[in-house]
Amino acid sequence: MYDIVLDCQSVHHWFGDQKVLYDVSLKVVRGQIVALVGPSGFGKSTLLRAILGTHPPASGQVLMNNGPVTTPGRDRGIVYQKYSLFPFLTAHENVAFGLMLDQSSLPFRLFRFWKWRNLRKTHLRLAAELLHKLGLGNSLHLYPSQMSGGMCQRVAIAQALILKPEILLLDEPFGALDEATREEHQQMLLELYQENLTEKQAGRNPPYTVILVTHELNEAMKVSDRVVALSKYWLWEDENHRESPGSTVVYDAVAPGPPRDGGAVLDTFLKQRSEIRQAAFQPTTRHKRGEFIRFWRECQEGKGRGVMQ
Amino acid sequence: MFRKPISWKWQSALGTAAILSLIAAYTALSHHRQRIDPKDRTVPSWHQIWSEGGLLKAFTPKEETGEIVVWEDFKASFVRFIVWFALSAVASTLLGLFMGCYSPLEAYFVPPLAFLSKIPATLMLTIFYVLVGLNFKFYGAMIAFGIIPTLAVTIYHAAKEDVPEELVFKARTLGASQMECVWSVILAHIFPKILEAVRLSVGPALIYLFAAEYIWGQENHGVGTTIRLQFHKGAAGATLSFGYLLLLGTLGLMGDSLQRWFQKWWCPWYAH
């Protein structure tokens, strides 16, 4: 019924004796913006790396469009909090870098120089167009060290988006930004989501599927249409474990969207935030694994938002 | 002041002042020696360096061939140096780069390079003398043995540790192959450091070149800066020695500035 882009099937991961992920299953529908939250050190980035293909799971599997993920590939874009850009390239060269790698080989660039030169012009033009669209038209020739953190993250998002990946993975991309810049970037994500809805209404595939890893609950609920929480604070004793087997999905629900002052949506927003805290962040209020997992049920009941409607 | 950058003008002014101080200190020392004994040539005056069997003679074309001695000597040394230094630098870069990128190569090459880097090339003079003989390759053996182990290890560390793995992962998601990651990400990222390491290797490489020329000079009557200075040993040849040292220092300063300029021009991002 839904167009599943990403399917994590019973993913387990550990480093030596340290158990990190336990039986994580997650299906992501094309066009969704999924916020992945949870306490620090509870496996969010590990799950992202498994999806990226740089650190495949110790057991279980990750499928992209039904194909297993074993290495990084251009169907998955990534934006990190740090080291998001290549420091030796200017803004538009950074954005064009993916096009270069995707559409030309090293021998082609070395031995068919004139053809490469023409192709390069096209790449740089496309990169410049995208940067103009994201409000960075005046910063094309700046190096990352000459740009602010917010500008760098915008360029990094453009760099990932220009290849039109099946899924965009954002690993706490706005974590180091000030409040105002962070809000600007959140707005940018909401605009991408709006494009998804427009495309879906026109009967086409929504172009942007995003997993946003963040520790900011407000951000998670504001920009996503679904919130998933990973945590170790669940009743693993009930499943016959003698010690914590690692983090698993303890919360999965439709996100309320941006809060509006004084309205019913604000109440829902605050209620859901306190629910996520209870499900994932408080060691004292452990609960059954499936207690707060209701996303697919909510969708069946017609409560899904955006592309799930 | 602490760790604060200064303007280019200030930098140039202070650098020039330091060189002028050196010249002034030498002039004062030479003047002092000349006052005690006007015939003393251990610290010759500028005039003596230029005129008395020193640079003036070296710059005067030979009657029989028309060659200018100083040009002949420096050209011979420069060719030996540049050919073998360039080859050694390229070999070190490739070796260090691939060691930093591929663990089996790292495991294979690190122990022998660590072993070889602890042996001064000057101690290998007699071995190379026997192995390759006194010919053009002799200089190559000395320079290569002297700089490849340390330069390759420096570049290997840069390739392994200076490039955040996130950048490599990102390049892979952008469609880069392994070789593209090595060439377009890792090499591009560490290139300014490679230039710096190569620049710092010039000094040791010159020591090994001159050591090789010294041996050559004992056996042959060839041309080259150290070979020429060997013919003018002792106090009598001090005027020429100082002249050659002055020229070498000036060329070294120019070469160093040229390399710094090239690094800034080729890697403008590194200066920011």
* Distances, alpha carbon A277 to alpha carbons A22, A158, A271, in Å: 20, 33, 10
A80: which chain B residues are within 8 Å (Cβ-Cβ)? 166, 170
B interface mutation test: which of A86, A103, A143 has the most B CBs within 10 A? A86
Percentage helix, strand, coil for chain A under 3-state DSSP, each rounded to 5: 40, 20, 35
- Give the residue with greater pLDDT, B206 vs A83: B206
B194: which chain A residues are within 8 Å (Cβ-Cβ)? none
Give the nearest chain A residue to B267 (CA atoms).
A88
Give the nearest chain B residue to A77 (CA atoms).
B173
Confidence category of residue B77, pLDDT binned at 50, 70, 90: very high
- What is the pLDDT at residue A259? 62
Residue B44 Cα, gap to closest chain A Cα (Å): 50
- pLDDT for A8 beyond 90: yes
Hey, are the CB atoms on B267 and A88 less than 8 Å from each other? Answer: yes
- pLDDT for B53 beyond 70: no
- pLDDT for B183 beyond 70: yes
Q: Nearest 10 degrees: CA dihedral of B87, B92, B97, B103?
A: 130
**Rounded to two decimals, what is the model's pTM?**
0.85
Hey, are the CB atoms on A146 and B268 less than 8 Å from each other? Answer: no
Condensed to tens digits (0 to 9), the pLDDT of residues B120-172 reads 888 888 888 888 888 889 999 999 999 999 999 999 999 999 999 999 999 99
Asked whether the beta carbons of B127 and B113 are under 8 A apart, the reply is no
Q: Taking the CA of residue A154 as centre, how many other CA atoms within 13 Å lie in the half-sphere pointing to its CB?
A: 28
Q: Under CATH, domain A4-75+167-308 is a member of which superfamily?
A: P-loop containing nucleotide triphosphate hydrolases (3.40.50.300)
Residue B174 Cα, gap to closest chain A Cα (Å): 5
CA distance B262 to B265: 5
Rounded mean pLDDT of A283-308? 86
Of A84, A101, A144, the CB nearest to B176: A101
- pLDDT for A263 beyond 60: no
B80 contacts chain A (CB < 8 A): no
- pLDDT for A261 beyond 60: no
A interface mutation test: which of B161, B168, B170 has the most A CBs within 10 A? B170
B40 contacts chain A (CB < 8 A): no
Domains of chain A by residue range: 4-75+167-308, 85-164
Condensed to tens digits (0 to 9), the pLDDT of residues A75-105 reads 999 999 887 899 999 999 999 999 999 899 8
Structure tokens at B81: 């140096």
A165: which chain B residues are within 8 Å (Cβ-Cβ)? 173
What value does the mean pLDDT of chain A take? Answer: 90
B interface mutation test: which of A83, A94, A95, A109 has the most B CBs within 10 A? A83
B174 contacts chain A (CB < 8 A): yes
B130 contacts chain A (CB < 8 A): no
Contacts of B27 (CB under 8 A, 6+ apart): B45, B46
Contacts of A150 (CB under 8 A, 6+ apart): A177, A178, A181, A184, A185
**Highest mean pLDDT: which range of A183-192, B58-67, B102-111, B123-132:** B102-111
Residues of A with a Cβ under 8 Å from any B Cβ are: 52-54, 71-74, 76-78, 80, 82-84, 86-89, 97-98, 100-102, 105-106, 143-146, 159-160, 163, 165
B161 contacts chain A (CB < 8 A): no
- What is the pLDDT at residue B42? 82
**Highest mean pLDDT: which range of A175-189, B28-42, B255-269:** B255-269
What value does the mean pLDDT of chain B take? Answer: 89
A144: which chain B residues are within 8 Å (Cβ-Cβ)? 269
**Highest mean pLDDT: which range of A83-97, A181-195, B27-41:** A83-97
B266 contacts chain A (CB < 8 A): no
Strand order in the sheet with A67-68: A18-29, A4-15, A59-64, A67-68
Strand-pair category, A226-231 with A33-37: parallel
Hey, are the CB atoms on B179 and A106 less than 8 Å from each other? Answer: yes
Residue A63 Cα, gap to closest chain B Cα (Å): 16
Condensed to tens digits (0 to 9), the pLDDT of residues A108-161 reads 998 998 999 999 999 999 999 999 988 888 999 999 999 998 899 999 999 999
**Highest mean pLDDT: which range of A131-140, A258-267, A293-302, B144-153:** B144-153
Q: Give the least confident one: B171-180, B227-236, B250-259.
A: B227-236
ipTM of the modeled complex: 0.86
Alpha carbon of residue B126 to chain centroid: 23
Contacts of B8 (CB under 8 A, 6+ apart): none
Q: Percent of chain A, pLDDT > 70?
A: 98
Give the nearest chain B residue to A88 (CA atoms).
B269
- pLDDT for A262 beyond 60: no
B170 contacts chain A (CB < 8 A): yes
B158 contacts chain A (CB < 8 A): no
Hey, are the CB atoms on B173 and A88 less than 8 Å from each other? Answer: no
Give the nearest chain B residue to A163 (CA atoms).
B174
Hey, are the CB atoms on B175 and A163 less than 8 Å from each other? Answer: yes
- pLDDT for A278 beyond 70: yes
- pLDDT for B234 beyond 80: no
Alpha carbon of residue A53 to chain centroid: 14
- pLDDT for A36 beyond 90: yes
- pLDDT for A264 beyond 70: no
Of A78, A80, A98, the CB nearest to B175: A98
- What is the pLDDT at residue A134? 85
Q: Give the least confident one: A203-207, B175-179, B205-209, B216-220.
A: B216-220
Contacts of A296 (CB under 8 A, 6+ apart): none
Confidence category of residue B271, pLDDT binned at 50, 70, 90: confident
Q: Three-state SS for A25?
A: strand
